[in-house]
């Protein structure tokens, strides 16, 4: 009987092979660079929180998806389902020493026991950025600017940031006498693209107790089309003189003007009144970023304003605005678009190893290349050149530096470009200077005349 355990992963969870993980880390590095360029500081929080911290913060559906259990001390705990609720707890606990406004970013894993689909897993990484302690539209606009810069820096050009303000919807609902059923209405609106307007109206009448006329008014508002200015003009008469709706409209107008001035072109920013976002804690601006070439992937950078979330933990007013880059969903989109490179190693150069007596010389050459900013892999055992080059080809390294007994005796080495098959003979008479120059020139690493 074979007692070995079958190696497998849980449904909704996945392993990351080097090819995907290299891109994943590259995106995280890019995100960190963008966040820091706008003045956001890093934080971290525990994967586990007291269950009472998490329950009821994202809505009934999110509560169902929580991974929860009792720890060894008998405490009810849950695994964080996003990074925003832990941020609210974090801010309430530490804002006295941090001060406001407080701008943070957080790149970490979250867990939701939801149905899996393309680009959506039960364990996934979020790249969040938030501004706590201000209700200013400037912070909302900066959130859009960061999302725009993130997508551009990662390498996307064809994407659209959809924006809305929940005050507009809430104002209409108040004027229709549906303010108490806002959650049910917003959840129905969130399904508009999936089930269509007629079924959304039907769901509103069934779950929110709205009349057919009331539900139709809501759907009429969220289905407005046209350019941003045209939609703004159509919104005002539909709001029924609601002060809350008027404020939302003014904030939307100011937001669109600010992001345009900040460098977001008109074709990348769209006022979309159907955007509601599923989580209950959003109160104002909401945004979703859709890749134009793969819209079926869904939003790859989403978020919004949550002015009341921290009041569950503190009497201090801590309004917030932020968004999250969906790393794994973005990777799924990049895979569909053929954007994932084939490389399986961060190394750019393989230093072939032939002569065991020269191991110190190989490490010396590798060290000189690394000091110049070149990632180098030394083959771990002396082997035939063909085997070492096959390894380099499989890992998609760009160059191979080849030096055996004959080359060392002649004071030279070969630099082989594995993408073209061409080889250059490089002198080692002046140490590694000529080798460094040649390698950096081929790889396009800055000044080829110096390290």
Enter the tokens of residue 304.
């919004």
Q: How much helix, strand and coil, in percent to the nearest 5, is found in the chain? A: 45, 20, 35
Q: From start to end of 183-294, where are the E strands?
A: 269-271, 285-291
Note the pLDDT of residue 83: 93
Note the pLDDT of residue 448: 45
Instruction: Please determine, for residue 380, whether its predicted confidence score (pLDDT) is greater than 90.
Output: yes
Instruction: Please determine, for residue 57, whether its predicted confidence score (pLDDT) is greater than 60.
Output: yes
Note the pLDDT of residue 278: 57
Note the pLDDT of residue 416: 96
User: pLDDT tens across 145-165, in order?
Assistant: 999 999 999 999 999 999 999
Residue 448: left (phi > 0), alpha (psi -120 to 50), or beta?
alpha
Q: Phi and psi (nearest 5°) for 34?
A: -65, -45
Cis status of the peptide bond prior to 101, with omega within 30 of 0: yes
Strands 68-70 and 76-79 turn out to be antiparallel
Note the pLDDT of residue 63: 87
Instruction: Please determine, for residue 118, whether its predicted confidence score (pLDDT) is greater than 70.
Output: no
Enter the tokens of residue 364.
């010396």
Instruction: Please determine, for residue 101, whether its predicted confidence score (pLDDT) is greater than 80.
Output: yes
Instruction: Please determine, for residue 304, whether its predicted confidence score (pLDDT) is greater than 60.
Output: yes
Domain 349-443 has CATH 3.40.190.150: no
User: pLDDT tens across 316-370, in order?
Assistant: 888 999 999 988 888 889 988 988 888 889 999 999 999 899 999 999 999 999 9
Query: Of 28-37, 180-189, 334-343, where does mean pLDDT reach its minimum?
Result: 180-189
Q: Say which residue, 450 or 168, is predicted with more confidence.
A: 168
Mean pLDDT of 246-269: 95
Note the pLDDT of residue 451: 40
Second CATH level (architecture) for the domain 18-336:
2-Layer Sandwich (3.30)
Note the pLDDT of residue 60: 78
**Taking CA 109 as the corner, what is the angle to CA 77 and CA 278, rounded to the nearest 5 degrees?**
80
Q: What pTM was estimated for this model as a whole?
A: 0.87
Note the pLDDT of residue 241: 80
How far is 149 from 31, CA to CA, in rounded Å?
A: 9
pLDDT band at 127 (very low <50, low <70, confident <90, very high): very high
Instruction: Please determine, for residue 450, whether its predicted confidence score (pLDDT) is greater than 50.
Output: no
Rounded mean pLDDT of the chain? 90
User: pLDDT tens across 68-95, in order?
Assistant: 999 998 999 999 998 988 998 999 999 9
Please state, as a whole number, how many other Cβ atoms lie within 10 Å of the Cβ of residue 289. Answer: 26
Mean pLDDT of 437-444: 92
Percent of the chain with pLDDT over 90: 61
Q: Say which residue, 281 or 448, is predicted with more confidence.
A: 281
Note the pLDDT of residue 70: 94
Note the pLDDT of residue 36: 98
pLDDT band at 275 (very low <50, low <70, confident <90, very high): confident
**DSSP conformational letter for 451:** -
What residue spans define the domains of the chain? Answer: 18-336, 349-443
């Amino acid at each position: 009987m074979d007692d070995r355990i079958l190696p497998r992963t849980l449904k909704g969870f996945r392993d990351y092979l080097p090819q995907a993980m290299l891109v994943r880390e590259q995106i995280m590095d890019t995100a960190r660079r963008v966040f820091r360029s706008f003045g956001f500081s890093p934080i971290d929080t525990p994967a586990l929180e007291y269950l009472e911290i998490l329950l009821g913060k994202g809505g009934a559906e999110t509560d169902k998806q929580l991974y929860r259990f009792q720890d060894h001390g008998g405490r009810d705990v849950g695994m964080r389902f996003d990074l925003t609720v832990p941020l609210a707890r974090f801010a309430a606990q530490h804002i006295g020493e941090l001060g406001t406004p407080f701008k943070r970013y957080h790149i970490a894993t979250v867990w939701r026991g939801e149905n899996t689909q393309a680009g959506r897993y039960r364990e996934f990484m979020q790249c969040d950025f938030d501004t706590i302690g201000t209700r200013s539209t400037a912070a909302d606009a900066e959130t859009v600017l960061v999302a725009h810069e993130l997508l551009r820096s990662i390498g996307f050009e064809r994407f659209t940031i959809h924006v809305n303000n929940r005050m507009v919807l809430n104002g209409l609902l108040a004027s229709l006498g549906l303010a108490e059923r806002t959650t049910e209405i917003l959840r129905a609106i969130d399904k508009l693209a999936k089930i269509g307007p007629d079924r959304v109206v039907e769901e509103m009448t069934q779950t929110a107790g709205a009349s057919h006329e009331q539900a139709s008014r809501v759907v009429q508002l969220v289905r407005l089309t046209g350019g941003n200015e045209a939609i703004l003009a159509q919104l005002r008469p539909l709001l029924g003189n609601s002060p809350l709706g008027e404020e939302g409209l003014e904030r939307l107008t100011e937001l669109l003007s600010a992001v345009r001035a900040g460098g977001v072109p008109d074709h990348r920013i769209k006022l979309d009144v159907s955007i509601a976002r599923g989580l209950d804690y959003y109160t104002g601006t909401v945004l979703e970023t859709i890749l134009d070439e793969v819209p079926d992937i869904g939003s790859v950078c989403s978020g919004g304003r949550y002015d009341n979330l921290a009041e569950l933990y503190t009497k201090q007013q801590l309004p917030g605005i932020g968004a999250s880059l969906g790393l794994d969903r973005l990777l799924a989109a990049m895979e569909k678009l053929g954007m994932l490179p084939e490389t399986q190693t961060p190394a750019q150069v393989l230093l072939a190893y032939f002569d065991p007596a020269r191991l110190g010389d190989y490490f010396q050459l590798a060290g000189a290349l690394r000091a110049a900013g070149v990632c180098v892999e030394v083959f771990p055992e002396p082997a035939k050149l063909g085997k070492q080059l096959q390894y380099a080809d499989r890992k998609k390294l760009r160059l191979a530096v080849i030096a055996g007994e004959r080359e060392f005796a002649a004071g030279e080495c070969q630099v082989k470009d594995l993408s073209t098959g061409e080889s250059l003979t490089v002198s080692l008479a002046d140490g590694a200077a000529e080798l460094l120059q040649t390698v950096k020139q081929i790889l396009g690493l800055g000044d080829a005349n110096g390290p």
